[in-house]
Amino acid sequence: MNTLKKVIRYSIPFVIMPLTVWAGTFLPFKNNYIIISCIIAILSILLFYCSFDTKKLSSRRLVLCAVMSSLCVIGRFIPFLKPVTAITVISSVYMGAEAGFLIGSTSALVSNMYFGQGPWTPFQMLAWGTIGFLSGLISPILKKSKCVFIIYGALCGILYSLVMDVWTSVFYNGSLTISLYISAVVTSLPHMALYTVSNVIFGIMLFKPLGKKFERIKLKYGI
Amino acid sequence: MRTVMQSNPLSVFSFYAIVVCITAASSSPVIQLLSLIGAVACNFGYNTAKKAVFSIVLFVLMAILNPLFNTSGATALFFINDFAITLEAVLYGVSASLSITAVIYWFFSFSRIMTGEKIIYLFGKLSPHIALLISSVIRFVPMFLRLYSQSRKAQICMGICKNDTVINKLKCEIRVLSVMITRCTENGIITADSMEARGYGNINRTCFSFYKLRLYDIIYIIIYVLLAIVTVFAIASGCISFEYYPTITVPKASPLMYASYICWAALVFLPTLTQAGKEIKWKYLLSRI
């Protein structure tokens, strides 16, 4: 099992991904981009999953990850407001980058079981996972001040929407053209505003209480 | 013999992967239309009225979008401020939105059929820890939803939350979310301790599943691949590809074209046909009682 993981860890970025892109230029279809980008997204999620040292993931951390990502899924049921990004960012700030990726990607996968899977699932998993991973990496800065945290949350909302717009226009046209991308961005502006506003609101309301809770749990159970 | 959708998750997944890839990548409206009809037939018997309205709106929007951004094409239909709306661009937009609607319809049935345990069976072998994570999230979500409504009712009952204005409602939601986080994390720690007490982490974890790779699953996969190869070969040789710009050129009729259409139709309607065969057999057996 471990050797298989090692093989996957080294072969995906250096062998399989370049090979896929290279083979993609020979595909007989006209709209190659969407298939190739889907495959690359799935491969990068696999790479993340395989390269995590899951032995370090004790049962308490694992269950905490599961709890936080199921709370994210529940957050998607709240009408109009989407606390998913806020919860992912806060929990990955306190639990680390790897846990952040796990929480983001798992909540995207499981919530799509309720809201409908689609060709967007791998991209959503990757986008949310990356948000969690990044916020785990810059956690010392985010922990310090609430202001930076809220700005970061707003940025995350905007970036998530922009990344998903790339997907929309590639899926529609088979390739990325500037005018189509701009129109996709414009049509998704309400969504972007919704994401940003709800990230800011939940950031303001949840930053302190959630931080306290995580600190307390760390202190109480020694995670 | 089971139907396509009842077979092993591996064969179901490969069916969807093949069909969706070819639908998304082909530029032939015949292929796209057949795929759409097959996907709609696959959802037959399930209540998809809401989804149908959603996909019709999407279809119209997408079809309008292309001519507004694309002016290449020889036949101008009319002009808006010196901006030509061409017949070719309109038809290309219709074809692109056909393929997108077909893919979305395939995924309606995909999310119905690929339940959580099937996804875990497929991808759980890569990392048992992540399979455990996903399966526990699937278990937690309905439990937490129940807890959520309980806590909300309790908060309202105690008079802490007011359920009148929008701001108060929002405050209530956030308060309940905060309560939920405390409650669920504490419960989670207890779950983790009990897992450890029962021997979690002592030896390598394996995933339980009751799916077996039987002979007919492999036969199904071979059928999909054979049918797909004919279609892909026809697409690659260019004998079924439509050219839109500058003028529309329809491919010439050839044996390979008909063969690929027949193969593609057989592939796309296979789930519906096997399902219909099963229903007919069931009705026949009932009538003999």
Residue of A nearest to B239 (CA): A28
For testing contact with chain B, the best of A50, A74, A91, A200 (most B CBs within 10 A): A74
pLDDT tens, B189-237?
A: 999 999 889 888 777 777 778 888 889 999 999 999 999 999 988 888 8
Give the closest of B69, B104, B177 to A183, CB-based: B69
Token pair of B31 as six digits: 């292929």
Q: B163, B169 in Cβ contact below 8 A?
A: yes
Please list, residue by residue across B50-61, b when 16 or more beta carbons sit within 10 angstroms of its beta carbon and e when fewer do: eeeeebeeebee
Kindly report the CATH number assigned to the domain that includes residue A203: 1.10.1760.20
Q: B110, A117: Cβ pair inside 8 Å?
A: yes
- Cα separation of A12 and A166, whole Å? 24
Task: Please say if the pLDDT value at position B247 is more than 80.
Answer: no
Cβ distance B184 to A177 less than 8 Å, yes or no, reads no
Residue at A206 is within a domain: yes
Element housing B23 (H / E): helix B9-25
Q: Which residues of A fall within a CB distance of 8 Å from B186?
A: 217
- Residue A29's pLDDT band, with cuts at 50, 70 and 90, is low
Report if residue A131 sits inside a domain.
yes
The interface pTM score, or ipTM, of the predicted complex is: 0.86
Domain range for A129: 55-221
Nearest to A66 among B133, B177, B241 (CB): B133
What is the structure's pLDDT at A30? 63
Residue A9 and residue A19: Cα distance in Å, rounded?
A: 15
According to the model, what pLDDT value does residue B19 have?
94
Number of Cβ within 10 Å of residue A32's Cβ equals: 18
Tell me: the pLDDT tens digits for B141-159? 999 999 999 998 998 888 8
Q: Is residue A211 within a helix (H) or strand (E), and if so which, with residue range?
A: helix A189-221
Distance, in Å, from the CA atom of B19 to the CA atom of B264, rounded to the nearest integer, reads: 9
Contact B97, B64 (CB under 8 A): no
CA distance B226 to B209: 29
- pLDDT for residue A1: 60
- Residues of chain A contacting residue B108, judged by C-beta atoms under 8 Å apart: 116
Contact A135, A93 (CB under 8 A): yes
Kindly list the residues from chain B whose CB atom is less than 8 angstroms away from the CB atom of residue A202.
Answer: 174
Candidates B71, B110, B133, partner chain A, best to mutate (most A CBs within 10 A): B133
> Which residues does residue B76 pair with via DSSP β-bridges, in sequence order?
B86
Residue B236 has what pLDDT? 82
* Closest residue in B to A4 (Cα–Cα): B126
C-alpha A122/C-alpha A118 separation (Å) is: 9
Q: Where are the domains of chain B?
A: 4-119+209-287, 126-197
Q: How many helices (H) and strands (E) does chain A have?
A: 11, 0
Q: How many helices (H) and strands (E) does chain B have?
A: 9, 2
Token representation of residue A130:
């990356």
Cis? peptide before B246, omega within 30° of 0: yes
Burial of A25 (0-12, 13-18, 19+ CB in 10 A): exposed
CA A79 to chain centre: 21
Residue B92 has pLDDT above 90, yes or no: no
Residues of chain A neighbouring B103 (CB-CB closer than 8 A) = 118-119
B201 vs A32: CB contact, 8 Å cut-off? no
* Beta-carbon separation of B181 and A210 below 8 A: yes
Q: Which residue of B has its CA nearest to A222?
A: B189
Number of domains into which chain A is organized? 1
Q: How far apart are CA A19 and CA B3, in angstroms?
A: 36
Distance from the Cα of A30 to chain B's closest Cα (Å) equals: 6
Determine contact, residues B2/B216, Cβ cutoff 8 Å.
yes
Of B199 and A175, which is predicted with more confidence?
Answer: B199
* Nearest residue, CB atoms, B127 vs list A28, A50, A119: A50
3-state secondary structure of B249: strand
Question: Has residue A202 been placed in a domain?
Answer: yes
Whole-model pTM: value is 0.86
Q: What residues of B are in contact with residue A188 (Cβ under 8 Å)? A: none
B129 contacts on A by Cβ (under 8 Å): 54, 57, 62
pLDDT at B223: 95
